[in-house]
Structure formats: structure tokens, C-alpha cells
Structure 1
Amino acid sequence: MRIDIDKDVCIGAGQCALAAPKVFTQDDDGLSELLPEAEPGPMVGEAARACPVQAITVS
């Protein structure tokens, strides 16, 4: 599974971190980023769908 976050699109809403806290966090600027020890699971798709600007793609 590949997870990409478009930092140019991300607005820092934090919905991904709420939906999948073991995969996503927010950096010092409030933008989404993957946790280094992230273990993608079924909630990753939910996190991508929850993003209000669709900055996350899962393939």
C-alpha cells in the first residue's frame, strides 16, 4: 500500500489524524504527515475519504 500526501493541497484540517492516528500526524506547520512507524490498515482509506481537500491518495 502506498500513501501520498500532497502538501501543496493539505490545509491541516487533521481529519486524517483523527481517522487513523496510528498512521497520520501533523507536522509543526499543522500539515499532515505519515508517522515513521506507520502500519497502514483499513482506516487509511477512511482517512483519505475524510480529507476535506482530498490531499491523500492511497494506491
Structure 2
Amino acid sequence: MHILIDEDRCCGAGQCVLTAPEVFDQRDEDGIVVLLERRPPADEHAAVREAALICPAAAIEIRA
């Protein structure tokens, strides 16, 4: 799994952080997503997929 973030699309809702806090964080100044793990371990894959699905701005892309 490889994660790509489109910061221009991110609206700072924080759903990704709530769903996968080991993989995502937010910048303090504007709430834009920060990727902590570009290639997360297998035990985080389900949470990352869920975060991508619920992202209101569709700013998270997952590649195999």
C-alpha cells in the first residue's frame, strides 16, 4: 500500500486522523492532513482504506 495526499483538496475535516491516527495527522496552523506513514504496516491498511472512503474532500489516494 502506498498513500498519496492531495493537500490542495484537503478541507481539514480530520476524519482521517480520527480513523487512522498512526498514519495521519494535521498541521496546527490550518488543519491540512500530514502523512506520517507513506507505506503503513499491514495492520493499518483497513483503517487507511476507511479513512480514504470517508474523506469528505477525497484527498487521500491509495495505490497498491
TM-score range, shorter chain: 0.7 to 0.9
Contact 2:3-2:38 at 8 Å conserved across structures:
no
TM-score calculated relative to the size of structure 1: 0.87
Instruction: Give unpaired runs (5+ residues) of structure 1.
Output: none
Contact 1:24-1:38 at 8 Å conserved across structures:
no
Match of 1:15 in 2: 15
**Greater share of residues in helix:** 2
2:60 alignment partner AA: I
Match of 2:32 in 1: 31
Which one has a bigger Cα radius of gyration? 2
TM-score calculated relative to the size of structure 2: 0.81
| C-alpha RMSD of the superposition | 1.8
1:58 alignment partner AA: I
How many residues matched? Answer: 59
Q: 1:53 aligns with which of 48, 53, 57?
A: 57
Taking the aligned partners of 1:45 and 1:22, their CA distance within structure 2 comes to 13
